[in-house]
Amino acid sequence: MNPTKRTKLGRLPNRGSHEFETIHAILDAAFLAHVGFQMESQPFVIPTLYGRDEGKLYLHGSAASRMLRGLETGLPACVCVTVVDGLVLARSAFHHSMNYRSVVAFGTARKIEGAEEKTRALRVISEHLIAGRWSDVRGPSDKELKATSVLEFSIEEASAKIRTGPPVDDEEDYSLPVWAGVLPLRLEAKAPVPDPRLAASIKLPPYVLPKE
């Protein structure tokens, strides 16, 4: 991917990448995006779930959603995704940091109209969130499809940025009697909590069981 001024990495470019493989891997590791856009001179940043299919992201929500109604008109948008991997604790306040993987993507969206294409896009989102769930549940009805807007966001250009490793202190601070290192963090699924109205005969599906 050839970057323009929008995605050229200025600060710490050695942490960045424009490679599709790197960008897609980060998008696949997360499921929550923040979508930035401007309507009537007012900027907005809205969190939303997404699914990825090649170089496209699928976004969905209520047909009354201001964000989706705005984006479907072709408004330029910026989609940001971040995975936090740890807090980096340095010997000085200044050099504290965070280990992370992030993507900033620019593009425009189109509204998906046909019921078949819309359903396929919703399946992509569902499978991105929890693989295997879509085949177990009732699919959307015609009424539910009409009440739902689904957008296909085409990534025109994007950049990734990644930080890994220990803190980087000023050389004279390494002798300070202060603990330094990384506090790893991760989003982790806990034991499933059944719906109170769940029939006793229904067993836990394997895709909700905590990973070893």
Q: How many other CB atoms are found less than 10 A from the CB of residue 117?
A: 12
Residue 210 has pLDDT above 90, yes or no: no
Beta bridge partners of 87: 98, 183
Supply φ then ψ for residue 124, to 5 degrees. -60, -45
What domains can be seen in the chain, in order of their start residue?
A: 13-182+201-208 (2.30.110.10)
The pLDDT tens digits of the residues spanning 45-78 come to 999 999 999 999 999 999 999 999 999 999 999 9
The pLDDT tens digits of the residues spanning 6-30 come to 776 666 677 778 899 999 999 999 9
DSSP state, 208?
G
In terms of C-beta density within 10 A (0-12 exposed, 13-18 middle, 19 or more buried), how is residue 9 classed?
middle
**pTM to 2 decimals?**
0.91
Q: CA-CA distance, 18 to 21, in Å (whole number)? A: 9
